[in-house]
Structure 1
Amino acid sequence: VSCNLQLQPHAAVRFRRMCDSEALEPGPAVRSWVQRRWQALGLDEGEASTTPGRSSGAVRSSPAASLRQTEVGQSAALARLGAALAGFASSGQPLLVTWTTGGRSFIQQALNFALSIRRHVPHLENQFVIVALDESAFTEIQDYGFQTLLHAVAKEDYPEYFGPRCAARTVYYAGVTQHLFCETNAFGMHFPLRLMCWRELILFSIFSHTIVKNDVLRSSSSPFESLPVYSPSLRVQVLLSAVSRGLELAVADSDVVVFRVCAPLPDPFPLLGLDADLEIATAPHRLNISRQWLDPEHVQQGKTSDLPTIFVSIASYRDSQCQYTILDLFRQARHPERIVVGVCHQVAKEDEECFLLDLDAWSPQIRTYFLCHDEAKGPCFARALIQQELMGDEDYYFQVDSHFRFVPGWDQLLLEQLAACPSPRPVLTSLQSAYELPRDQQPGEPDTAVMSRRETVTVLCADKFGDECPGQDDAFLRIKSRVCRTDFGHLPPPALFWTARFHFSRMEAARECLYDPYLDYIFFGEEISMAARLFTSGWDLFNPTKTIGYHLQSRFHRPFYTEVQVSELSLRRHRYAKARLYKLLGDERYAAAEGSVASPSLPYGLGTARTLAEYEKFCGVRFVDHTVSDHARRGGVATELLAPSWAEEARNELLSAKCFTDPEVWAGKGNADALARQFPDVLVKHGPPVELLRARELAKARVQELVLQGSQMPSSSPEVLLSLSRAWTHLGQVCDQVEDRQEAERSYQQALQLVAEADCSWLTDDDLNAGIFNGFLSLARAAALGGLGRFDEAKAAAAVSLAAVSHALGCAEDPPEAVEHLALDAVCLSHRFHEQTEDRAGLGRQCGHFRSLLHRLPRCTPASTARIAVLSDDAPPDDQEETIRARLLEALLLSMMASGTDEGELAAREVFTGFPEALCSSACLQRQLGLMQAGGLFLDLGS
């Protein structure tokens, strides 16, 4: 340190580091202030004569001994504070101390700090103390179970701070000169605004806060706008108290949080007895002192730091979800200041809905390339544009789709996962988890994405080549993911393949394997070709073991680029691009079929570090004859570590079936005809199926039969009226299936009228069991109301039926099979109504009814908390006849899982643990468990 400033070596090094990191000049004002502060600790120039930066020399007297001679050291308040701190330090461990005044926001800051310690470094909680200046803060912190002490400050304790010469510090902001002017009892200084760190001057943030009143100081005579000043010098009081008693501690502001680290924490107390300034987030300080200790939650946006930077590539085709993706990306990042987004917007002039959210706060970190949608040529072309036009000199490259959500701290998780890969050239790639959108979600509204509950590890696997897929016009390998039964010890396992949906690596990987700009309209060939290019360039692929985010699989909310792939020129370009990739992969047969082209050369071709033959051997796929090994289908993972393969296939079939029942899920918004062009035999309309027409005739005959029976009776009984109502409802449902809506509505109206008649007549029938009959009656009413589209009334009626079922099971007065049959119908109907209205919250509110019903069902064994067995690869039989009990358990399971709530998942678990005899004998329950395990649920990997 220059200017003859003499401090102890560790303090001098610290002072120099802080001055350098904040561009502070250690001029006369700074030097004078530091010397006076140091002398207050009992060290004058004679005592601290060691040259800065060298090993410590002998000191005539210890700081503690000198401090006891000072007026400050004799303060009664400091004595009380020191004694209390000494009590917490009885274990001999250093203390980490923070403080808080009263007021909701300040107390919450301290509690956030404390809770982050409890969550991420719980072994340090017994070394952590909160000094409370307010009794309400003291009480609330105690209620949370944290160590705290009450430190009341009075004027008589610190007369030197409350005298006429130093009543307060006044801070003004000079808008013209962009300077701060500070008046203190000692000196006046000007500092540029760049020296500000959040609310305080760096000078004061490094060494001390000054006693001030907590209100905003205003001067009517000043031309400047006044700023709030809030902090007393409690940090100095704590430090002086500690030094006077020889305690070891570090003091931190309350507005910091502890973050997770994989490695053991370094020693957080290198400056024992001094202010460790853990709230300072400057680059050199974080790197050298507290980088892995504390992390501010209020880092300045755009602040230059030594944090590694991440470039995020997002190609968006008319996607209204892209704005939500970018907003969530910044909000969920631990360090948003290190993120730079490069987005290629391929939009039409009517796509205003893609730009409704306010992203102005992050605009300096968003680079945008606009392309008219009719000039779009598929995702590869857009990603090539991003790399050519927007990618900078950032440290890392992260590629995601434009419809993605992120977990909190995703940027730090990515860096930790990449560092855990056992390779000097790793690439993380994964299909990640999923999220869903309500069908009625409107762009610009608050985000209503529903995240998947799956948190298990998945691996990328080979599926099949395109020439084996009906309706496809290419022969490229398809990639899918499979759920694992292990977390691999949290070390990312090798990946055989690569997905464009999620790529994270050092920037060198993106630069060495640039996107080929000549791959017009390529979709499926993008992934397998890039996997081969990365591997042959010496990069190693890995599956992350942590969930980083959630991907939206459905396309119903957005158009798809195939809507513009209609001209003859676009088809020729697509054929050229396919031939180019076939040639790269050595698939000469299909390359010749698309036309004669040369294999792409660097930087768009294969690398030279490894050969294509080595990649084929590594991944278990032969591109010449389209052979896929079992090793490739398992993603290189042993069979016993994967969810059942039959369940994976069944799950994929369900997803494929959904594409045909709702074409926009696959083809994109307003583009259903694209699916019809590819699958004309599947989607062409030939009128209602013959079996449905036959079912309608049978339903009409049943109605006529019951009407005839009723006419032959002197008075219709409630049972006959109820049966006739059900028959009319069934007829209405069949008419809906054959798209005869007029006949369906007439049938539902008849059913509803008959329910009302039955409701009147059963009250006079003493032979009927009121509880169970009321349940059947409410169920019939719900079915008719639902058919008429009166869903709110239908849900209420179904809830009444469920309550009647629960009561009947508790009384055990009715035949169990009849009650369970009613329960099955009521659960299925309630689930259907909530699903039709996309009312997931309402279904969640029904979970209490479902769980009560489940608990009342008789069972052979008591409820169990044992782990759920992972099913084998032997698929359950398809032709097994199911009992009413098994079908009811299946309906309860599906309804509770569809609620998306913790309560629903816990109750669904009870279906498998509480009724093992039903699981063993029921193929439908085994199939449902297999489907859920294939989706990453109920694998019971943890302890």
Structure 2
Amino acid sequence: MDNLATIFISMASYRDPELIPTLRDMLRHAVHPENLHIAVCWQDDEDLRVFEQAGLEPVDCRIVAGREVHRFNYRQARIDIISVHYYASQGACWARSLSETLFEEERYFLQIDSHCRFISCWDSEMIAMLHSLQSRSPLPILSSYPPPYCPGEDEEASKKTYVSRLIFREFNQQGIPMFGSAPFESPEPVRGSYLAGGFIFTTSRFVKDIPNDPHIFFAGEEIAMTVRAFSHGYDIFHPHKPLLWHFYQRKEHRKVWSDHDNSAKEQGAVEKAWWERDNVSKKRVRTLLGLEAQSAAVLAPYTLGNERTLRQFEYQAGIHLKNGTVLPEVMAPSLQAFFADPPADEADWIGRQYAWYKKSITLKQAEYFPSEAETSSLNLSVYNQQNTLLYKRMFTLQELETFISRSQDGGWVIPLEFKTASTVKPEVVRICPWSTTTGWGTVTEKRW
């Protein structure tokens, strides 16, 4: 095996019927399947016969880091499976961390989810694209939200051809930045600030520099990996052409939060409900981002590096973590997510920022527009904890009609988005209908 071309592929799979189709597609479209070492943390029912039935050839079983590892060969590739019952799972990054224990000094590192499809020659394409960035960065990373596909009879037709870059979407209730995506066109990969957990390709040094923190459950994974990579000197680039596809939503597939609920804990099936692990996880992310009183040093070895600071990351991304604010350009139509140059004046940089809030609320039409009433509009007002008005908007009946199709139960899913110069967070939304014949109706409230 030519170590200069080998790829260590880390996959976390939770009760995913797409795992084996993903492995088949990956190896069918690889130029050099013999150079692939695939490590899967398989969180399922532990019946390994499913892999033999799919045509994988069992080779041996060994112990790594205290766990059994089952080796299979398939289409010249090596596939190592760590089998864990799904009730024993501790979250996405825990599973990714287990997969990383199987790393054997391969040249490149690929982290993906277990529901993907691949372009022809994807392995050589990824390597070539990464090499093309060496003149622009000493430590480049290829990462993005891949375009979608949907398995089934129309799978090929479902594969979208656009590419996208990661953008800031919002701060969640814990003050953790959450990401979205925006399509782009470019003749070459474009610089970005954010990393996507479902697709990372870089040199294998990344496995040692930025190992997955097994205590991060799910939400916050991407910003944590992003700032750690940045502080270790890595630069993120979004591919300018599709390299793989990703199956999003997966509404019919089992998820860890549906299995690891309060009922499963009460029955003794799981040690902790998913939300208990999620609370610990989010506090760790907040600590890493400097949002908690304790030092991030307590997170060792899953800490920031020494090459660049957290403030330098904020300059590059145009966000202020502690204030929960962003530059206007970040939320403008351009959705700017990368600022090449630091600000000349920090005070001015902070002064230009706003707190942005974005949320959709669901309302039942019958509660506000009873058939006998002549309601003509709906007033929505947002207040903070001190009952200060932050945002107000009147929706006409015509505007509300455009939101009906977005709700499965025939109600409205109404998007709210606004900015304030204050960082005081919204607490409540007050809704009141207006009738041209009877005036104001009853005021109801919803938590923000």
Question: Same-fold call, TM > 0.5?
Answer: yes
Cα displacement (A) at 1:427? 0.6
Equivalent in the alignment of 1:420: 132
Q: Is the 8 A contact 1:458 1:543 kept in 2?
A: yes
- 1:353, distance to aligned residue in structure 2 (A): 6.8
Matches within 5 A, 1:36-47: none
Q: Number of residue pairs matched?
A: 328
| Aligned equivalent of 1:377, options 44, 65, 90 | 90
Residue 207 of structure 2: SS of its match in structure 1? helix
Shift of 1:580: 1.5
CA distance in 2, matches of 1:561, 1:535: 29
CA distance in 2, matches of 1:459, 1:573: 30
| 2:176 corresponds to | 476
Q: Deviations over 1:114-138 (max 9, x none)?
A: xxxxxxxxxxxxxxxxxxxxxxxxx
Q: Does 2:174 correspond to 1:462? A: no
Q: Is the 8 A contact 2:94 2:214 kept in 1?
A: yes
Specify the code of the residue in structure 1 equivalent to 2:83. F
- Which of 198, 218, 235 is the equivalent residue of 1:540? 235
Q: Which residue of 2 aligns with 1:611?
A: 309
Map 1:436-451; keep pairs closer than 5 Å. 436-438=150-152, 449-451=155-157
Structure 1 residues 394, 612: CA separation in 2 closer, same or farther (over 3 Å shift)?
A: same
Q: What's the counterpart of residue 190 of structure 2?
A: 493
2:3·2:107 contact (CA, 8 Å) conserved in 1?
A: no
Q: Give the superposition deviation at 1:307.
A: 5.3
Is 2:290–2:296's contact at 8 Å kept on the other side of the alignment?
A: no
Deviation of 1:356 (Å): 5.1
Q: How much does 1:424 deviate?
A: 1.5
> Could you say what secondary structure the match of 1:435 adopts?
coil
Amino acid in structure 2 at the alignment position of 1:574: D
Contact 2:117 2:244 in 1 (8 A): yes
Distance 1:691 1:585 in 2: 42
Q: CA RMSD in A?
A: 3.3
Whole-Å separation in 2 of the counterparts to 1:555 and 1:692 = 34
List aligned pairs for 1:307-326, cutoff 5 A.
308-326=5-23
CA displacement 1:603-642 (0-9 Å, x = unmatched): 310000000010111111111021122444424479xxxx
Which residue matches 1:368?
A: 81
Instruction: Pick one of 561, 570, 577 that aligns with 2:281.
Output: 577
| 2:249 alignment partner in structure 1 | 554
User: Structure 2: which 5+ runs fail to align?
Assistant: 58-73, 266-270, 340-357, 373-395, 400-448
> 1:137-176 residue pairs with structure 2 within 5 A?
none
Question: Is the 2:46–2:83 Cα contact (8 Å) retained in structure 1?
Answer: no
Residues 691 and 504 of structure 1, relative CA distance in 2, 3 Å threshold: same
Whole-Å Cα distance in 1 between the matches of residues 42 and 139 of structure 2?
31
CA distance in 1, matches of 2:328, 2:199: 25
Q: Which of 323, 326, 335 lines up with 1:628 in the alignment? A: 326
In the TM superposition, residue 423 of structure 1 has moved relative to its aligned partner by: 0.9
1:477/1:528 contact within 8 Å kept: yes
**Aligned CA distance change for structure 1 residues 637 and 529 (closer, same or farther; 3 Å):** closer
Question: Is residue 460–residue 635 contact of structure 1 (8 Å, CA) maintained in 2?
Answer: no
Q: Which residue of 2 aligns with 1:775?
A: none
The reply to whether residue 431 of structure 1 matches residue 431 of structure 2 is no
Of structures 1 and 2, the larger Rg is shown by 1
- Offset of 1:495 from its aligned partner? 1.1
Look up the match of 2:437.
none
**Residue 562 and residue 432 in structure 1: after superposition, are their counterparts in 2 closer, same or farther (change >3 A)?**
same
Matches within 5 A, 1:132-531: 304-305=1-2, 308-348=5-45, 357-360=54-57, 361-362=74-75, 365-388=78-101, 390-421=102-133, 422-438=136-152, 449-452=155-158, 454-467=160-173, 474-484=174-184, 486-487=185-186, 489=187, 491-519=188-216, 522-531=217-226
Describe the shift of the 1:573–1:449 C-alpha distance in structure 2 as closer, same or farther (beyond 3 A): same
Question: Cα offset for 1:574?
Answer: 2.9
Cα distance change of structure 1 residues 598 and 512 upon mapping to structure 2, 3 Å threshold: closer
Q: Distance in 1 between matches of 2:248 and 2:213?
A: 25
Using a 3 Å threshold, how does the CA distance of structure 1 residues 878 and 355 change in structure 2: closer, same or farther? farther
Distance 1:693 1:631 in 2: 42
Aligned counterparts of 1:878 and 1:395: Cα–Cα separation in 2: 60
Contact 1:529/1:581 (8 A) holds in 2: yes
What is the letter of the counterpart of residue 436 of structure 1? C
**Contact 2:30–2:120, Cα closer than 8 Å, also in 1:** yes
Structure 2 counterpart of 1:501, one-letter code: G
Query: TM-score, normalised on structure 1?
Result: 0.32
Distance between the aligned counterparts of 2:11 and 2:19, measured in 1? 8
More strand by share: 2
In structure 2, what is the equivalent of residue 757 of structure 1? none
Q: 1:420, 1:565 → 2: CA distance?
A: 46
Residues 403, 582 of structure 1: alpha-carbon distance in 2 compared, 3 angstrom cutoff: same
CA distance in 1 between counterparts of 2:367 and 2:7 reads 59
Preserved contact between residue 310 and residue 394 of structure 1 (Cα < 8 Å): yes
Measure, in 2, the Cα distance between the counterparts of 1:306 and 1:353: 31
Q: Distance in 1 between matches of 2:316 and 2:397?
A: 37
Q: Distance in 1 between matches of 2:319 and 2:157?
A: 34
- In 1, are the aligned partners of 2:190 and 2:237 still within 8 Å (CA)? yes
For structure 1, the residue ranges without an aligned partner over 5 or more in a row are: 1-303, 439-446, 468-473, 639-652, 658-678, 696-876, 881-943
Cα distance change of structure 1 residues 401 and 355 upon mapping to structure 2, 3 Å threshold: farther
C-alpha distance in structure 2 between counterparts of 1:636 and 1:383, whole Å: 27
Contact 1:321 1:354 in 2 (8 A): no
Normalized per residue, the structure richer in helix is 1
In 2, distance between residues paired with 1:534 and 1:577?
Answer: 18
1:550-606: CA deviations, max 9, x gaps? 101122242001121434844444322221210110113xxx6xxx68644443100
Equivalent position amino acid for 1:372 in 2: H
Cα gap change, 1:359/1:632 in structure 2, threshold over 3 Å: closer, same or farther? farther
Residues 351, 434 of structure 1: alpha-carbon distance in 2 compared, 3 angstrom cutoff = farther
**Cα displacement (A) at 1:692:** 11
2:3, 2:106 within 8 Å by CA — same for their partners in 1? no
Distance in 1 (alpha carbons) for counterparts of 2:130 and 2:150: 28
**Are residues 349 and 694 of structure 1, via their aligned partners in 2, closer, same or farther at CA, if it must alter by over 3 Å?**
farther
| TM-aligned CA distance change 1:635 to 1:603, over 3 Å | farther
Q: Which runs of 4+ in 1 moved over 6 A?
A: 350-355, 690-695
Following TM superposition, by how much is the alpha carbon of 1:689 offset from its aligned partner in structure 2, in angstroms?
Answer: 4.6
Question: Quick one: distance in 1 between partners of 2:2 and 2:48?
Answer: 37
Equivalent residues of 2:36, 2:77 under 8 A apart: no
Question: Which amino acid is the alignment partner of residue 283 of structure 2?
Answer: A
What is the CA–CA distance in structure 1 between the aligned matches of 2:367 and 2:200, rounded to whole Å?
50
Is the 2:193–2:317 contact (alpha carbons within 8 Å) kept by the matching residues of 1? yes
Deviations 1:225-281 (A, max 9, x none): xxxxxxxxxxxxxxxxxxxxxxxxxxxxxxxxxxxxxxxxxxxxxxxxxxxxxxxxx
Find the aligned partners of 2:130 and 2:301 in 1 and give their Cα distance: 24
Q: Which amino acid aligns with 2:29?
A: Q
Aligned residues of 1:428 and 1:544 also touching (Cα < 8 A): yes
Q: Aligned partners of 1:613 and 1:691: how far apart in 2? A: 47
TM-score (norm 2): 0.66
Q: Is the 8 A contact 1:307 1:338 kept in 2?
A: no
Does the residue aligned with 2:5 lie in a helix, a strand or coil?
Answer: coil
Cα distance in 1 for partners of 2:51, 2:255 equals 14
Contact 1:427–1:539 (8 Å) recurs in 2: yes
User: Does the 8 Å CA contact 1:584/1:600 hold for their aligned counterparts?
Assistant: no
